[in-house]
């Protein structure tokens, strides 16, 4: 089946706005039942002119009622965001700061929330395609993990889920709900170099799975939706040309600094591991070598001085032969008169 690449905003929006699909994704990640779900804020455009045709950066907000571990009902806020690179971190932080722990007008007080990030790029130090960053209550005095929850704490902190699409490699026949959902985002089987569409070849049985693929198939084959994706692809290439290269250069700088730190750390560890006698011998050898180099340098300096004086002596004698007086030679060569007399020797 031909489907639109869900990392394109046009396609991702189509999935995220469907509550059945959103419910399936949230249940798979939170590993709990979603009893009710409502769509909140949808998209926020970039701060550009109204007639700018660049793709919109958007985030999806949901208000959901989930079943907790003890079987009770709890309402939470869920924020789902996507980025292909560039200023992703800055945008994510800005949005979380703006979102805070806002509540709907019909709710009493703030609600705990969860963030879900779909990434179109790889994190350098995290190899798993699907990462959960969860909180723990830890007694700092005893290092004991506490089996408890406190509303005050829950409202001030949150769990996060991060999906790295380029790292997704599912089997030919995904089994779990999470594997089936991730397979839809797998960046493989592109139909052309634009990577706008994908040939999806895995079996489809579950309704939510079929719904995801039906949405992406429509977007990938509908002329109007494809036009939106073509426009988005153009601006993605444009932004990668400017901002992507800057980010890659920064990565190279960070990698070079990291390698340098490792080399320094390795050299330090190796030096400490050596025996004191061996280290002392190396120091003495280094001192002797430095002394020899200093003496050699000093000899070169003395030789250079002698050569310069011989050259000056020849010049002085030539000038005397031409009839110049010592004081005239002193002025001309910018050296003391007594030096002229010394260099002249028996020529005076």
Q: Which two tokens stand for residue 134?
A: 């969860």
Helices 19-30 & 207-221 angle (0-180, nearest 10): 130
The string of DSSP codes covering 69-125 is TTS-EEEEEEEEEEE-SSSHHHHHHHHHHHHTT---TTSSS---EEEEEEESS--TT
Cα separation, 285 vs 290, in Å, equals 8
pLDDT along the chain (348 residues), means of 10: 92 92 96 92 48 54 90 91 67 51 51 89 91 89 87 82 94 93 94 90 94 94 84 62 59 78 83 76 86 87 84 83 82 82 73
Identify the three-state secondary structure at position 18.
coil
**H/E segment holding residue 119:** strand 113-119
* Direct distance between the N- and C-terminal alpha carbons of the chain, in angstroms, rounded to an integer: 107
DSSP 86: S
Query: At a CB cut-off of 8 Å and minimum separation 6, what does 83 contact?
Result: 57, 91, 92, 117, 118, 119, 120, 121
The pLDDT, as a whole number, for residue 169 is: 94
Whether the model clears a pTM of 0.95, i.e. scores above it, the answer is no
The pLDDT, as a whole number, for residue 203 is: 94
Residue with tokens 């889920």: 161
The pLDDT, as a whole number, for residue 148 is: 86
Q: Which two tokens stand for residue 232?
A: 């988005």
The pLDDT, as a whole number, for residue 100 is: 44
Cα separation, 61 vs 39, in Å, equals 6
The pLDDT, as a whole number, for residue 12 is: 92
């Amino acid at each position: 089946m031909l489907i639109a690449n869900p990392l394109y905003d046009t396609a991702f929006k189509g999935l995220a706005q469907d509550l059945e699909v959103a419910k399936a994704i949230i249940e798979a990640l939170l590993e709990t039942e979603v009893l009710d779900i409502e769509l909140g804020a949808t998209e926020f455009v970039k701060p550009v002119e109204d007639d700018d045709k660049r793709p919109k950066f958007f985030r999806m907000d949901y208000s959901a009622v989930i079943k907790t571990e003890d079987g009770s009902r709890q309402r939470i806020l869920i924020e789902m965001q996507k980025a292909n690179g560039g200023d992703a971190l800055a945008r994510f932080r800005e949005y979380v700061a703006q979102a805070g722990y806002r509540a709907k007008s019909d709710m009493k007080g703030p609600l705990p929330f969860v963030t879900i990030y779909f990434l179109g790029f790889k994190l350098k130090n995290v190899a798993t395609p699907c990462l959960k960053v969860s909180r723990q209550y830890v007694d700092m005095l005893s290092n004991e993990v506490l089996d408890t929850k406190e509303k005050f704490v829950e409202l001030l902190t949150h769990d996060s889920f991060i999906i790295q699409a380029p790292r997704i490699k599912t089997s030919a026949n995904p089994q779990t709900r999470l594997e089936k959902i991730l397979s839809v985002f797998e960046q493989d089987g592109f139909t052309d170099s634009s990577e706008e569409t994908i040939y999806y070849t895995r079996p489809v049985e579950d309704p939510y799975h079929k719904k995801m693929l039906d949405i992406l198939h429509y977007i990938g084959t509908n002329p109007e939706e494809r036009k939106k994706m073509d426009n988005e692809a153009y601006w993605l290439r444009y932004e990668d040309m400017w901002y992507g290269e800057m980010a890659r250069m920064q990565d190279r700088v960070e990698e070079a600094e990291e390698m340098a730190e490792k080399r320094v750390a390795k050299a330090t560890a190796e030096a400490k591991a050596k025996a004191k006698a061996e280290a002392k011998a190396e120091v003495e050898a280094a001192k002797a070598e430095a002394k020899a180099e200093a003496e050699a340098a000093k000899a070169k300096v003395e030789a250079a001085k002698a050569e310069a004086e011989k050259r000056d002596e020849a010049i002085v004698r030539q000038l005397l032969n031409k009839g110049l007086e010592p004081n005239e030679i002193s002025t001309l060569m910018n050296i003391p008169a007594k030096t002229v007399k010394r260099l002249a020797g028996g020529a005076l």
